[in-house]
């Protein structure tokens, strides 16, 4: 497993990561969903159940509706000030979605050049702060739960996924293709089986994400 014992594992992103987390963004002793009810909670549960001796502390800093620009605005408080040992970033869905559900609201859209520039700058800010450097950063693609690659929003999301791959390669960070993880399942089921809006996963969709992240962390 890539995570060293007693590591702090931080996830940051949008509503997919948020999934109803509490403000603290950590497991709550009174049994509420401190980490949310999505893939982050599943990752933490798996680590606790299978690697209890590792004592991995999982934190969730996903915020619903956020784009990469929103992440940049809170990066100091929600990433750097928390001093993670390993950081997982999954952002871009809203950057793309606003281009389709709010086509005239150009002020809330994040075009590819700005998306790449901002994500790249965040990685640069983070590398020096993480003990493991590039090996401690995992960049995950945004996704659209649609098997038809010619669908306009799916095609656009793939463009942003390619940007994530490029940024990860540029800095030697780790890379996770979440779209590929969904595509493997979409070969057998309809998208609405996994997400009614093809964005916000049902439990099985979050399990797909959790499995992908755990595999990328070497925990499966």
Q: Which residues form the catalytic set?
A: 15, 197, 200
Paired strand residues for 88:
11, 138
What is d(CA 144, CA 156) in angstroms, rounded to the nearest whole number? 9
Backbone angles phi, psi at 61, to 5 degrees: -125, 35
**Structural tokens at position 5:** 């014992």
**Structural tokens at position 90:** 């999954």
Please list the alpha-helical segments (H only) found in 65-135. 68-78, 93-101, 112-127
What is d(CA 13, CA 61) in angstroms, rounded to the nearest whole number? 7
**Structural tokens at position 173:** 């960070």
**Structural tokens at position 60:** 């969730």
């Amino acid at each position: 497993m890539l995570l060293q014992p007693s590591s702090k594992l931080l996830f940051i992103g949008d509503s997919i990561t948020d999934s109803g987390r509490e403000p603290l963004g950590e497991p709550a002793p009174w049994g509420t969903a401190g980490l949310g009810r999505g893939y982050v909670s599943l990752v933490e549960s798996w680590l606790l159940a299978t690697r209890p001796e590792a004592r991995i502390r999982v934190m969730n800093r996903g915020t619903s509706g956020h784009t990469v620009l929103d992440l940049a605005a809170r990066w100091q408080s929600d990433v750097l000030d928390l001093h993670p040992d390993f950081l997982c970033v999954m952002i871009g869905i809203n950057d793309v979605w606003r281009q389709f559900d709010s086509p005239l609201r150009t002020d809330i859209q994040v075009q590819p050049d700005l998306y790449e520039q901002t994500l790249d700058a965040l990685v640069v800010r983070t590398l020096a702060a993480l003990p493991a450097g590039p090996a401690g950063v995992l960049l995950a693609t945004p996704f659209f739960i649609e098997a038809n690659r010619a669908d306009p929003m799916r095609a656009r999301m793939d463009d942003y996924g390619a940007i994530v791959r490029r940024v990860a390669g540029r800095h030697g960070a780790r890379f996770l293709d979440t779209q590929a993880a969904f595509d493997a399942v979409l070969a057998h089921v309809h998208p609405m089986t996994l997400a009614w809006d093809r964005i916000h996963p049902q439990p099985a969709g979050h399990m797909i994400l959790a499995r992908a992240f755990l595999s990328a962390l070497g925990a499966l």
